[in-house]
Structure 1
Amino acid sequence: MKIKKKERRTRSRFVPPILFRSRDTTCRLPLSLFHTYKLTAGIMALRRFPLMTPVDEEAKVFRGFLPVHSVEYLIQVHLPGNSAGAQVYGGAELKHMLREMDEQKLINRLNQCDEITLFLSELKAMLEEHETFKKSKNGLNFSATKRYKELMGELKQIGFDKVSHINEAMDHITFKLQDQNGRVHNVKTHIPPGYPLTPLKLILDGPSSNGSSSNSMNEGRDSNKDTTLTTTTTHSTLHAAILYYYDWIETFRDYFVCVDELDQHVRVLDPDQPTGKDAWRRVALKGHCSLHLELDPKFPRAGLKAMRFYGSEKNMKTLQQLWESQAEQWSRADTPYKNLSRIFGDRMMTKVSNSHHHQQDTSFDVECAICYAYKLEHPDLGLLTPDVICINDQCNRGFHPTCISEWLRSNPTTTRSFNILFGKCPYCSEKITTKEIL
């Protein structure tokens, strides 16, 4: 009881002054309200910071103790919202530490974290980075040998079994880490010559901490040319960087589950080789149609963030009506794949098997019926897909705009009105119309 009374006396001295603010408005929460709100789901995200607890109903304000180099600092955090940026309150020691840092850099980095675990991990890493740098200015000289020992010590702490590649200069290390579902994540680290005095760079293949990602077809196609970087952050120690990455994996674990399930069961037309940041897919539907869908990385089961059908006007109208009649039955308890399968049924094309016969049966529903390819690069129009569809239900073949244009121009029965070609389908002789492309 004496210890508890002493501890209560020590903590009661805390008066939460403003350390910094990123907006002109400041939020102060009276101490009397700290015990009146119910605990929310935000407390489930604090397994790494068990001394922190939410004090409001929306889990936007947290109070507790933040460990920095084995020293616990009393702190109150207001996560960034729609109208206000991140705010931090604390005692004199923490206030002094933050005043010594680059305030604008601190605000910019913390405002990108709208989830408490990532916020605290980032703040902890920045404080430890600052403390390490202060010690170096007081006469610590990290030679190459010390750098090597520091690095090997951290690798031993992380576990050499998690290291998949390390170059001779030891400035690029790739880790292979597994999440709770067994999914393997490759994380690359760049270690500068001045490490540990100079922060290292952590390269993550996935959405950023605020949930942003590549979600358009043009962005996705461009990203396939350079998929080396999606999200970067800096940390003072390699061990802190890996801990941050584990928190990041946990935040988007359900997102990876959902996109992996789509890639495993559905025939994905785009992107060719999806990366972690690609929250969109173009999946094949029967009748030479396709569906472009986008997911919200933070809430992948909540429904489609955006969608669009491709194909003949008649088939697209049927699919649109089917979607409108079944969309209300979307279940947040199920993955996007299960919901789409329930809505579209056998209209969704499954992933192509290794069977040559199976490939022949489904290729005409995807590829151009003239060049037998799905994608075609055009110097002026960019990447083309077979979007010109024959209106004959018995034929229903698709063609690249350039392929069918060249075919019709070579046919003497084709007529022209300005830049519009009127001809016949190469397979069924049904009337087909397209814009002339030279």
Structure 2
Amino acid sequence: MESTEGTRCRKLAETSAFYRLVYSEIEEIGWKHLVRSAGDLKSLSFRILDNKGRVHIMEIQLDIHYPRFPPSISADVPYIFDLRWSMSSRLRDLVQQFQEHLKKLEDFWSIMDDIDKFLWVVDPKHPSRAMAYRQINIGNDCYIMLSINSRDPRSLPECRFMGADPIVNSLISIWRRNSKRWIKDNPFLENLARVLETQLLRPPDVPKNNQQLECGICYAQFLPVDDELEPKSGSATDYTCDNSKCNRAFHSVCLGDWLRSITTTRQSFNVYFGSCPYCSEPVAVKINSKK
């Protein structure tokens, strides 16, 4: 029978092997992609970009007996993929599978981005990437709640109308009559306008003070106090996306670092030109800007 001390030493050895394994696998992925990690390395968060340059955070939970027990993952996506795992699998395989999953969702997110950009969305105010519904103002004090199929986003969405009964009943009748006119190969918003037989309302201007204060990249309101960040040390977010449906706040330092890591970013003199990580609208950030 194993002694108490023997058990303790064996567990320490297992923990040491676990540390060595996880460290080596993080290095394979690249430390620049690691956003957060627990002290025991059982919880890891990686920043992953999809092909459109959107930022996604993948949370990974590891068992002490990893890789014998597969990791569990969570992310801001409408559904999680089925993990393919074996004893020979590594974290880089998990990242690759996540990237494949993001690629499958690109069409869904492009449609949701178009809805947020071009229609009068009243709910949710600040949608996450996992949300597949939108409540849209269609005029006459009426609203349509759309539920988009994230696995088949170009298909006819489920919908529910809200408003005065006579108008809602008329809209339901129009929707049922025209639903067969929905053509999956056509743009989503074009299909929606055709089925509803109406010109869809554009979003109103959003006041500039209706902004998120936390940086969309480092998720903090203030930069750390650090001599290397002078004169930005300890400063608040100082850059806001111009897209009124986004208004995402950033530290110009964080956004500049992020743009520098994107291959499609252009640089002219001391300015980076690229796309917002959240809505893909054009952004321009001065290098070492002193706004």
| TM-score normalised according to structure 2 size | 0.57
Aligned to 1:184: 55
- Please tell me whether residue 258 in structure 1 is matched to residue 111 in structure 2: yes
Q: Which amino acid counterpart does residue 131 of structure 2 have in structure 1?
A: D
1:22-33 correspondence to structure 2 within 5 Å: none
Secondary structure, aligned partner of 2:48: strand
Secondary structure, aligned partner of 1:352: coil
**Shift of the alpha carbon at 1:282?**
1.8
1:8-407 correspondence to structure 2 within 5 Å: 143-208=14-79, 233=83, 235=85, 237-304=90-157, 306-324=158-176, 326-344=178-196, 347-355=199-207
Q: Which amino acid counterpart does residue 36 of structure 2 have in structure 1?
A: H
Q: Which amino acid counterpart does residue 162 of structure 2 have in structure 1?
A: Y
Q: Which runs of 4+ in 1 moved over 6 A?
A: none
**Shift of the alpha carbon at 1:290?**
0.5
Matched-pair contact (CA < 8 Å) for 1:202–1:232:
no
Matched-pair contact (CA < 8 Å) for 2:181–2:194:
no
Matched-pair contact (CA < 8 Å) for 1:207–1:297:
yes
**Shift of the alpha carbon at 1:202?**
1.3
Larger RCO, structures 1/2 (Cα 8 Å, 6+ apart)? 2
Mapped to 1, the partners of 2:116 and 2:201 lie a distance apart of 12
Task: Identify unmatched segments of 5+ residues in structure 2.
Answer: 1-9, 209-291
Mapped to 2, the partners of 1:339 and 1:328 lie a distance apart of 10
Cα 1:196–1:324 shift into 2, 3 Å: closer
Matched-pair contact (CA < 8 Å) for 1:203–1:232:
no
Matched-pair contact (CA < 8 Å) for 2:144–2:159:
yes
Identity %: 20
**Shift of the alpha carbon at 1:188?**
0.5
- What are the Cα deviations for residues 359-388 of structure 1, in whole angstroms up to 9, with x where unaligned? xxxxxxxxxxxxxxxxxxxxxxxxxxxxxx
Instruction: State which structure, 1 or 2, has the greater radius of gyration over its C-alpha atoms.
Output: 1
Mapped to 2, the partners of 1:145 and 1:179 lie a distance apart of 34
Mapped to 2, the partners of 1:301 and 1:256 lie a distance apart of 11
**Shift of the alpha carbon at 1:340?**
1.8
Mapped to 2, the partners of 1:146 and 1:280 lie a distance apart of 45
Secondary structure, aligned partner of 1:252: helix
Q: Which amino acid counterpart does residue 258 of structure 1 have in structure 2?
A: I
Mapped to 2, the partners of 1:268 and 1:335 lie a distance apart of 18
Secondary structure, aligned partner of 2:206: coil
**Number of aligned pairs?**
195
Mapped to 2, the partners of 1:352 and 1:232 lie a distance apart of 40
**Shift of the alpha carbon at 1:186?**
1.5
**Shift of the alpha carbon at 1:179?**
1.4
Mapped to 2, the partners of 1:206 and 1:335 lie a distance apart of 22
Mapped to 2, the partners of 1:206 and 1:301 lie a distance apart of 17
Mapped to 2, the partners of 1:142 and 1:262 lie a distance apart of 53
Task: Identify unmatched segments of 5+ residues in structure 1.
Answer: 1-138, 210-230, 357-438
**Shift of the alpha carbon at 1:326?**
4.3
- What are the Cα deviations for residues 270-327 of structure 1, in whole angstroms up to 9, with x where unaligned? 34443344322221111110011222222111212x2121111222244335435544
**Shift of the alpha carbon at 1:344?**
4.5
Mapped to 1, the partners of 2:58 and 2:64 lie a distance apart of 20
Secondary structure, aligned partner of 2:67: coil
Matched-pair contact (CA < 8 Å) for 1:292–1:308:
yes
| TM-score normalised according to structure 1 size | 0.39
Cα 1:284–1:152 shift into 2, 3 Å: same
Q: Which amino acid counterpart does residue 107 of structure 2 have in structure 1?
A: D
- What are the Cα deviations for residues 121-168 of structure 1, in whole angstroms up to 9, with x where unaligned? xxxxxxxxxxxxxxxxxx9x9643332222122112112222222233
Cα 1:338–1:186 shift into 2, 3 Å: farther
Q: Which amino acid counterpart does residue 144 of structure 1 have in structure 2?
A: T
Q: Which amino acid counterpart does residue 92 of structure 2 have in structure 1?
A: H
